[in-house]
Structure 1
Amino acid sequence: MRSRLLLLLLAVIGAMAALMVVEGQSRRQAAVGAARSHVRILTQVAEEEHRVLVEQLGHLVETVALQEVDLSAGDCADDLVRLKAAEPWIANVFLSRPDGSTLCASAPAAAAVNVGDRPYFREALRTGRATLSDYMIGRTSRAPILAMARPILGPDGQIRAVARASMRLNWAGRLAAMAADMPNGLFAIIDGQGEVLVRFPAPAWPDGQAASPDDAAAEPVAQPKLDPALVEALFAQPTGTLLSAGLDGVPRIIGFGVLQGINARVVVSLPRAEAVGEADEDFWRSMVGLAAVAAVALLFGIVGVETSVMSRLGTLTRVVERIGRGERGARAPERPGDAEFGVLARAINIMANNLEQGAADLAEREMRFRDLIDVSTDWYWEADPERRLTYVSPGVRAIGLDPLRMVGEKQISGLTPTPETAAALANGADKQEFRDLRYVVSHPSGRRYHVVLSGRPLYDPDGAIRGWRGAGRDITALVEARHALEESEARFRLLADRASDIILLTRPDGARLYVSPSVERILGYSVAEFTDLTLTQLRHPDDHAVDATFEALSAAALRAGPAPAGGAPVVPEGTGAEGLGQEGPGGVAARFRLRHKDGRWVWLEAVISLTRGDDGAPLLVSASRDVTERVRQEEELRAARDTLTAAAAELEHARRVAEEANAAKSAFLTATSHEIRTPLNGIIGAVQLLSAEPLAPLQRDLAAIIRDSAQTLLLLVDDLLDLSKLEAGRVELVEADFQLAAVVTDAARLMEGQARTKGLALRTRIAPEAAATFRGDARRLRQLLLNLLGNAVKFTDKGEIQLMAEVFEGPANPASGEGPCDVRVVLTVRDTGIGMTADQRARLFNRFVQGDDSIGQRYGGSGLGLSICRELVTLMGGSIALDSTPGEGSTFIIELVLPRLPGQAAGTKEARQPRVASRRGSGRRVLVVEDNSINARLTEMMLRTEGYDVALASEGAEGAAIALGSPPVDLVLMDIQMAGLDGLEATRRIRAGEAPGRRVPVIAMTANAMVGMREEYLAAGMDDYVSKPFDQGRFLDLVARWTGGASAAGDVPGATDAAATPGPGDDYPMAEQPLFDREPLAKLVDLAGREGTLEMVREFVSFGQARIARTAGLVAADNLVEARREAHSLISTVGNLGLRRLQHLAQSLEQACIHENADEARLLMDAIVGVAPASWAALARDYPVPVTAA
């Protein structure tokens, strides 16, 4: 009996334990589900609160932008203070300038804040619309804030100010208070990088201090970043819940939602242990009680009172069974004296009480869940089996429906299914679980809302439907965005239909999805006819390689990967499809022929690119242009080239015949050239004397023409005399001591003007060893260099010319330095001209020979210069070599062995340093980027007086390439207004391409001396600013500071006011300005001499007159954009001449063009045209130059 009683007790206790375990698990799951619902509702409340506040923030900014606020500092601030007082949730209200500085603010502390670098502020300036920021740390409050900016436009459409407002996270504090109802609940806002923007409760601050988002004085404490896996889960979908380790590493139940307009998530969480803690405590209390009862029951059974035990056990068993059936009110009777059974009864009653309390808690949590549903923006509904609504959450009011009126309805008035939804309902879609059925709601205001409904049936245990439950969501914004996209696609299709080229959209399998109507104009086929024809049917038989191109592109499209290696498929040559398969700027370029409908062949040039459709599928898009006429012209050019080649052969034959007769002419040339030279010298002398007399402009021009023509003829006579002397062996070298560096420099200076006239840079590089005294014929050496430099200038149309002098020690030079030593002198002339073929190089040094006859016709010349050079070099005991590539340029190298005088050895300090080494620019290289050749020449002359090595570039792209290339430059002088790539963009390109750790200084050179322009140049990456025309002394001081050549100890690179100070006369009042200020040209005379200055003045005057004429035409045509460029260049042109009144008028004209004031521009242009003649006349009194009558 005892054993049976024991077994019975164990069975009862086991049943009770199993029941408590099942009940405990049920309560844990219910607790977790309730917690999920709780945190999700809190996140929905946060989303709605944030959305409403953002809208109110937008209304406030719009109010500030639209009302007529006085922009003066005092009244403006008062207006903003009143606006902020009306909205206590606002942190601050601002009015800012377009550069980000604060005009006025509602809080005085914020007046010094500049937000020009804030991304949302720059976006607002760019788009002209209100722009919302992400959460960020406020520069005044040092707390997380959300800000919005909206530009304020003036009557001229320009941005005159920016309205801004910001709010702190006070609203988050209210939601955190709701989260605080949960034990250890946590509220946070997290951005897309995992940064914790807001956290309640806040983590510990330094020294144990804590701060809330409203603490404006505290410095924010950097929050640790979240685990990337958790961040990825939070941002994988807009809303939801998940179980994961939270911000504190504790396993939590996390609810999250998206915040409108920013890349952030609001997160509400509570520890999983807290959510199920109460259920666990109840379970373990019950288990402890059950264990106690079990112990008592076992003890009672062992001592053996079977009858009373069985009776009481039966009673207790029945009570437990009733509790198990759900009778929460069932209790075990407690009898006096029943110690053991009394304990068991009390344990059963405790268990029953716990179960009843758990049910009450579950009901309370359900009530809380329903309360949160009532404040959600999405709405929830329930219906009976006949689909009559029994409950609708208040969120439906957002689309104009009344939840109370909807209860009891089956057909909701105002809710109309879309055609797709109506079809789905007709097929029984609502007989089972359904999702995203779309409806249209007609709001009383006239607006149409688009909503989606989802629902699922609820089943009884026997499988019968006992009701329905679901949710609804407003998708109006999504639908309207989709409609806007469809309208945009329709507009693009309209543009494609009107394109002049043939536009094709093709799938990789060759199916054509779109053909533009232009195919009928170009090929004669209708769109339908062309769509049915394959490429093979249309293309020319010889252009079969185009098939391989399309096949390669189609294969690349099917792989959805990049194009074949090299950017284009390999195509066989010689197929007749010229240019096929070449990589173009927007895809693969191909040229081929297609058959016109009338049977003729049409040449097309197509660019084919890979793209993707809306569904992500790969597609091919091509644009084909009719190039038949261009191909015909190319064929005509090839035929003409063949004809010219044949003519060249005939001319070569004639040259050989003429050369055979050359010997007979030599004696005649020798005698005749002497007879011609005498009257030529008389002509040149007479013209020089005539030029010194006062002449009319026309007479002076005619005298200059006579002088230049006579000098040209004299050079030709000298060549003939040299040739005859060389042939007769009567040329003798006159050896004397000379400075090699001076000979090289003089030759370069003499050719510098011709090079600059053609826009070429002439660079001279003299090795330190060449700055010594040598013995030889300096005149013949200069003649050699001038001949080579003259050819380089003649045959070079763009690029540069280099003249280099190097000295190499001989192996047997005496070490004592007591006598002359022979050294090897190497002179190199390198150009970037037309170059020569091998055949041309072989014949080049022959007399009367130029590369071919076409060169003589195009460039002129007698063909004697290089022949004389070879003879002279041979006479000097040296050699001359040539290296040339067609299209890349030529290099002439002269090698001579010359004695170097004692005391000038390369190893001494004196020999290594040129005479100008003491000047500030010695050993430093400066790049001048200037499209005005006259200004470039003047700047170069100033720099060379200080010993700088100067490189020139005539446009921004070339300047950026030189600055980033080798050899490196120490400083860049950058003009701002240039055609093509201007100075600002060129500077940005230099900054982007510089190697780490290297920064070449860039100084802006411009005639624009407006206030604020200097800051713009510095912001673009420039280091300093100088105004044109500039003072030579201040300019050279500035260059020395930035190249490290400053003489004063305190001179260090840095922007200085002196550098940016306008030149003399820049700010003269009009009534006080002289016509002609002599100071600039007087300085130029000191720099270049009287003759050099006269030559430059002639160029300045010619350039200025032409520019005034062009500017007047542009102003008359209201082309103020181009007129501004011309006026900008005119400022420096007339400023360099000292014509102050014209300079001031040109500056005013430039400003009128910038502000698009056409009337003022015309008045100023009339003034310029009227002042110009008197200005030229005033200039001509000191500097007699020809002036063309206006």
Structure 2
Amino acid sequence: MTLFMLVLMGSGVSADPVRAEQSLDHYSTLTIGALANGTAKTVMQANGEPVGVSADGSNESARRGSQTGEEAPALDLSADEHAYLRSLPPLALGIDTSWAPFTSAESDGHTGGNVLAYTAYLSRALDIDFDPRMYPDWTAVSNAFGNGQVDVIATRREDQLQGIGPAHDFENIGFAVRPGYRRLVPLIDRALRAMPAADKERPLQASLVASDPPSSGWSVSAMRLLPVLIAIGVILGVTLRAFVLLQREMARRVETEQRLATQLSFQQTMMEVVPYPLVAKDLENRYIAVNRAFEKMLGIRREDVIGHTALEAQSWGPENSKRLHDLVGQSITNGRREQVEFAFHNRLGELRHALFWTGAFKAADGAMAGAVGTMIDITDIRDAEMRARENERRLHDVTRSLPAVVFQLRRATDGTYGFPYVGGDTRHLFGLDLATLSNDQVAGLSVIHAEDKRSVRETIERSAQTLEPIHMEFRSIADEGRRWIRADLVANRETDGAVVWNGYWIDASIERARADELAAARDAAEAASRAKDDFLAMMSHEIRTPMNGVLGLVEVFETTPLNPDQSQMLGMIQDSASALLQILDDLLDYSKIEAGRLTIESMPIDLRELVDNAVGLLAGRAHEKGLRVRAAVSPDVAASLRGDSVRLRQVLFNLLSNAIKFTMKGDVALSVNMVASARGVQTVELSVEDTGIGIAADAQASLFEPFVQAETSTTRRFGGTGLGLTICHKLVELMGGTLELKSELGVGTKMTVRLSMPVETTSYQIGGMRGKRGIIAIDDPRVARALVDYGQALGLELKIHSRDDAALRDPQTFYGIDLVFLSDTHREALPLKTQVIHVTEKPKPTGYRILENDIRVSVNPISWRGLGAACVAALTGLPQIASRATRSTDTNMEAPDRDRAIRAGRLVLVAEDHPVNQELIRHQLSLLGFACDIVPDGVEALAALKHGHYGYLITDCHMPNMTGYELARRVRASELGLSKRLPILGITASTAPEELSMCRDAGMDDCFVKPTRLATLRDHLNRWRVMENSSAAPQPDGTAEPQSAAGPDTATTESDELNLGYMTQLWGSETTVKALLDAFASSFRDDLETLRSLLDNGGSVAQLREWHHRVIGAASVLQYRPLQVALDTFRRDLLDKPATRRNEDGAVLIARCEVLLEIIEGQCAAMA
């Protein structure tokens, strides 16, 4: 036998390896084939000798192969070879079990054959282990070898491994090993050459046993019967095959029939469920099938058409049936699909539009077999198209006659623009026709003026991002660029991301021209308005400057001795000048209102104080005409509301002035009532009612128009400009209220102001009066009701009795009564031990008067402050005092000399350039008890301040060389780093609202408008009176810094003392003043204890404000400026201060008040 050894370097077996031979005695030759990197490589040398075997060795091998019975050479292995063989793992041997005699599978599950005999010998000779792995065929063995699952394979391969030698006796064996075991090849070769004879016989016997099984008698019989058996087998095979083929054909036919039945059912169902008419025709153009939709559409049965042509059935009408018959025939003839559109009447007689398609179908042999057709009802589509065309025609007609162009603009996702629709006269707007503008996407921008293209593009791009509507105007190139186009577009985003605008263009050239004209007119009007305002401001300044001198000097002259005629003429001068000033103020206010530059402030207002001021200023004028003046405020009106006190006072003053002017006899009354209250806001009505001439109904409608009076003769009889009510009406509207008029000719007029005002403080807290009880016994119930209302606000409980009430003669009636208000005309003695306040109709400048042991209160009109002072005086228990004359509060006070004024801090520096006003203010200051130095401008004022010691600076705002504003700034700059601050008062003839702001910004403490009255000047000076040791110095904005802490031992100065002379003039006697001061000191100490308790217990801001409101009311009765400043300083910024700061400021206030109380008590002791 010949043995082949293959060494494979790749992953598979070589198709044709090169072989080398070695002889195994007389019947065995060893052939080894090798592959390197996939290329066949011979292991034979050029002379035909095997690789690794010398020529002698090769000859020797041949010689031994030719000699019978010669012993094989011994297998001698080196130590290195032994070590290599021991290092080998068990080698996986792949065996193809399907080829005998090389391998065979025994019945017991074992394998045999000559391969295992050789591997058993190699295992013993080389001391290596083989792991046989059986595979059913050569393909499985090859795949396993290629995948690396086996290391060695052996099988019969005659086609690829041809043996050399006695191959006719035995089969060839081929071995192959994986490249990693290449060194094993020569070792196997040597082992086989050294194989003993006994071992050589075993593979031969194994192959013989496998190839020649033992014979028996049955085999001889089988050989004799074999031809018969073969013939019988052939016949049976043919018969069986025919039967199988027949069964298969029958199964195929059954399956085909079922498939055809299913297909027919499917086709029939599909025809019936299709909602469109379907027909099928044969080659003769006869109907062979129709569906249910066909029957329903035409209203015929299929039995009536099956087997007939369209010409015979006439199912579509004569004309349509012929067209369809011809169309189907044409389709069958040429084999193409055909279609036609036609109109027909359905089974209901309705005219319908349809599309009919037909196509031929072929038989299995390729010949034409017939045609099928279907129809779609397109009536709705054609109707929609017709309506769309009609709408488009109408839209075209409409847009053609409109002055606008409607369009649709589309921006694609790539940023390109186009006009899907444009309708209207585009040639008029852009100079282009519709076709050009619609088809050219660039034309849309090309018709825009070059200066407007960028803004238009940016606007459209921005709208594409935000989808905001577009409202813009631009110019087109038409009409030489003078054509203005207004565009309005609304954007929408489509599903594909494109943006579509629907909009219109319209010619805006005329409107643009008008707008330009209006803008020019507006600018001219604004310039004229500014010129008017400037003129009025200049005239106001020029008029007020001499008017200041006139009114001021008249006021000064009134303090000098005058005879009756002089006094009367002086009064006439003052009235005329006041009327002229009022006209000027009305004109200025009206001008501000019309220009919209008048603003409404919001600040705390005491309406009772406001009524006192307004009525008090005009009561004298009413009294001169013999009129009674009444004032009343409802008790539920809050103590303090928020609003514009200046403008509200102006309204009340104007309404009262008119009431007094147009009333010849009777009464003029001012009343305030609360009509609603909700969420901290009170709605109040301020009514001015008179018994004057009244206004006719037809004149009332135009009464609020400017420069209009009820009658033309009214101006001649009463004077005036007719602006008063107009200004009042505008002011009330600016304050968010209404002004109503009710009047009856010859009866009188009632003007009502209704305002909603936030509540600042609900009620008063006046010490010494809360809970006190009193009786009112007077004749006039209206006055009695007003006294009850005022008393309730003061905290008194008053009860009304008529004068002839018998209860007044009963002493028990007066039990527990603290006060009795009795008419001064009441002559009957009453059993009284309580204090009596007499009510009189005689006017009193302060609203009350104390004479001897009698206290009188005037109700013509009732004064809120006067009533409160009278009640305080009565409740303190006045002693019997002697009568003494009193003087006016504004009459001459002896002016100190200059040195004494410097020591008292009453020296005033006046900067005034007008000579008349210089003399006027000198006299006014002298009457008020102040000495002064006068300089003509700001430069000299600065020089005087460097060398003098002044307590005040009064400066005109407009002066040559240096204005008052610059002077104030220079003074404030020089005070930086100093603790003392000079009060600066500005005087201006301008009424512009920005004037006050300029004064504040310059550093002035206050500013008042000319003409300068004595009372106004006195109030400003008292407000900013210098207190040398007081740490509460006034600030430019009218506020004061919190004063430093002061203990009870803080030194006092002359400025901390009460002005007892002034208080005596005000209250009538020193005894009264002493009683008031004693009562105040006692009550105020209790108030300070209350404050300590609030501070110690963490009182809230609201509680502290309530405490402040209560004590400031009592302090205002004394007009004690140091105490008022200390209280106001504590209240300022109370809400914004932290609790610790409030406690610190409270301690400072208590210490300061205790010092002031000691001063008050010391002065009271000196008066005893």
TM-score normalised to structure 2 length: 0.29
TM-score normalised to structure 1 length: 0.29
Q: In terms of Rg, which structure is larger?
A: 2
Q: Answer 1 or 2: higher relative contact order, Cα 8 Å, separation at least 6.
A: 2
